[in-house]
A and B are shown apart, each in its own frame.
Chain A
Amino acid sequence: ETGVTQSPTHLIKTRGQQVTLRCSSQSGHNTVSWYQQALGQGPQFIFQYYREEENGRGNFPPRFSGLQFPNYSSELNVNALELDDSALYLCASSLEPGIATNEKLFFGSGTQLSVL
């Protein structure tokens, strides 16, 4: 049990639609990172939010956007869905950005998104 919850667990959308995925971080964790994990692949970094501002972004187009709220919840929004967006989306929370000796990521179980 990591204390990080994601909703929904599964979602089916059609191409061109928009989707919002939600994550509830551990209490006190100021940092949330989002990852896309395609079938048979490792997770790919989408972006990170720290204290409600984007703090780093991977190689994903602007139609992938996020929000982080003061209550340790966050959202990943994807516009104009494409078939290749079908994947497991993971969020991970941590106390602060960067790596400290005792720092680590706490992952949620993910949202499985299928785009038809």
Chain B
Amino acid sequence: AQSVTQLGSHVSVSEGALVLLRCNYSSSVPPYLFWYVQYPNQGLQLLLKYTSAATLVKGINGFEAEFKKSETSFHLTKPSAHMSDAAEYFCAVSEDTGGFKTIFGAGTRLFVKA
């Protein structure tokens, strides 16, 4: 069975500071891993996706994530936070089984202070 754990339900950073959102996964098969962002009253938007190609994945809005199999982690980073980054972020894992479903973590709310 697959699962996702996001460490920290809330993270607060200052504008211009490094953003680090942590995600650990559990999967019995090589996983596909995702980060999604959700702004208030909106659906989820894909930030980036790992599909067993490069372990360092670059996404939209300056975000990137590194797949570390030995640590079963897929942490999301951004070198310099912007006020517009304030949102809810979800890490997710999926298997390409044909009966496709995505398992989401509980989410991390990012606050950006001026």
Chain A positions near chain B (C-beta within 8 angstroms): 2, 4, 31, 33, 35, 40-45, 48, 55-56, 58, 90, 92, 97-99, 101, 104-105, 107-110
Residue interface bits B19-60, CB-to-A below 8 A is 1, else 0: 000000000000010001000011111100101010000000
Knowing A41-B107, A43-B90, the reply to whether A105 touches B99 (Cβ < 8 A) is no
Residues of A within 8 A of B97 (CB): 98
Knowing A2-B43, A41-B106, the reply to whether A99 touches B100 (Cβ < 8 A) is yes
- Give how many B residues have a beta carbon under 8 Å from the other chain's beta carbons: 28
Number of residue pairs spanning A and B whose beta carbons lie under 8 angstroms apart: 70
- Tell me if B73 is interfacial: C-beta within 8 Å of chain A: no
Knowing A43-B44, A108-B43, A110-B43, the reply to whether A98 touches B100 (Cβ < 8 A) is yes
B63-99 residues at the A interface, CB under 8 angstroms: 90, 92, 94, 96-99
Question: Do A44 and B99 have beta carbons less than 8 Å apart?
Answer: no
What is the distance, in angstroms, from A90's C-beta to the closest C-beta of chain B? 6
Smallest Cβ-Cβ distance to A41: which chain B residue: B106
Question: Do B106 and A55 have beta carbons less than 8 Å apart?
Answer: no
Central interface residue in A2, A105, A110, by most chain B CB within 10 Å: A105
Question: Do A104 and B106 have beta carbons less than 8 Å apart?
Answer: no
For the complex of A and B, the 3 pairs showing the least CB-CB separation, nearest first, are A107-B43, A42-B104, A56-B99
Knowing A55-B99, A98-B100, A99-B100, the reply to whether A42 touches B45 (Cβ < 8 A) is no
Give the contacting residue for A33; candidates B53, B98, B101; CB below 8 A.
Answer: B101
Question: Do A107 and B99 have beta carbons less than 8 Å apart?
Answer: no
Knowing A4-B43, A90-B44, A105-B46, the reply to whether A42 touches B100 (Cβ < 8 A) is no
